[in-house]
Amino acid sequence: MGNRRPLIAGNWKMHTTVVDGCRLALDLAKGWQSKEDREVLVAPPFTILSEVAHVLEGSAIMVAAQNVCWEEKGAFTGEISPTMVRDAGGRAAIVGHSERRQLFGESDALVNRRLRGALAFGLMGILCIGETLEEREQERTFAVLSQQVERGLEGVSAAEMARVVVAYEPVWAIGTGRTASKEQAQEAHAFIRGVLAKKFEKSVAEQTRILYGGSVKPTNIDELMRQPDIDGALVGGAALEAESFLRIIHFQ
């Protein structure tokens, strides 16, 4: 067994103004005392990354970007570089979220570039993968996951994997209130770990954290976290209210 420290991440998506975001961050900082046995992270929109990082300074809550470019600077209108994320106080970046893939046409190759950019400039990368409902119904889940892992991690070294987290988010469970059952999630996570073991080696697979995302709530976090291959959660809607996110990070 690897020594994996659970990570709970809140993805704020395209929500929160400066005032809303800072208040939420403040409430989280007040409600969360650092615990050695788990890590907590929030990903606010770029517009308030630096304010939120400022509010969370000295707390045990890390700040992440929701996406990131691969270049340090240049003519990339609309993009944010990994060094800009670090400059704003961010330590990690989410890449390949299904909303980026589905609504903005991001391919595995593009997601891979973003991930390698994040790693090259010292960020932790959270690589999101997950099948659609159609793919699940056609029994293509494992094929899709294995392709997303293989292509998403192309060119990433075993040493860099210490700064990579994989987030399994079945598209059909995102924002739908329809969580994958603990058995479905565990099965997918164990499969993903197997793909990592083949691509790298068993020890890398045992050390890589695999988060579950998709309608994670205070009511289902405890049973999800009891699954042997679920090492944390990537939370959307329930991360936007301090009370529910605090309950989730205090999972038992």
HEC sequence for the chain: CCCCCCEEEEECCCCCCHHHHHHHHHHHHHHCCCCCCCEEEEECCHHHHHHHHHHHCCCCEEEEECCCCCCCCCCCCCCCCHHHHHHCCCCEEEECCHHHHHHCCCCHHHHHHHHHHHHHCCCEEEEEECCCHHHHHCCCHHHHHHHHHHHHCCCCCCCHHHHEEEEECCHHHCCCCCCCCHHHHHHHHHHHHHHHHHHCCHHHHHHCEEEEECCCCCCCHHHHHCCCCCCEEEECHHHCCHHHHHHHHCCC
Closer residue to ligand 13P in complex, CB, 66/112: 66
CA angle, 162 then 167 then 173, to 5°: 175
Q: How many CB atoms are closer than 10 A to CB 30? A: 11
| Residues in contact with ligand 13P by the rule CB under 6 A | 11, 97, 169, 174-175, 213-216, 234-238
In the annotation, is 97 catalytic? yes
With respect to ligand 13P, which residue has the nearer C-beta, 204 or 220? 220
From 39, 97, 99, 189, the catalytic residue: 97
Catalytic annotation on 54?
Answer: no
Q: Pick the closer one to ligand 13P by CB: 40 or 234.
A: 234
Between 11 and 204, CB nearer to ligand 13P: 11
- Distance of closest approach, residue 192 Cβ to ligand 13P, in angstroms: 16
Question: Is the Cβ of residue 101 or residue 113 nearer to ligand 13P in the bound state?
Answer: 101
Residue among 99, 106, 169, 189 flagged as catalytic: 169
Q: Which residue is nearest to ligand 13P (CB)?
A: 236
Q: Report, in Å, the least distance between residue 118 CB and ligand 13P.
A: 16
Minimum distance, C-beta of residue 175 to ligand 13P, in the bound complex (Å): 4
Minimum distance, C-beta of residue 246 to ligand 13P, in the bound complex (Å): 15
| Shortest distance in whole angstroms from residue 130 CB to ligand 13P | 9
Residues annotated as catalytic are 97, 169
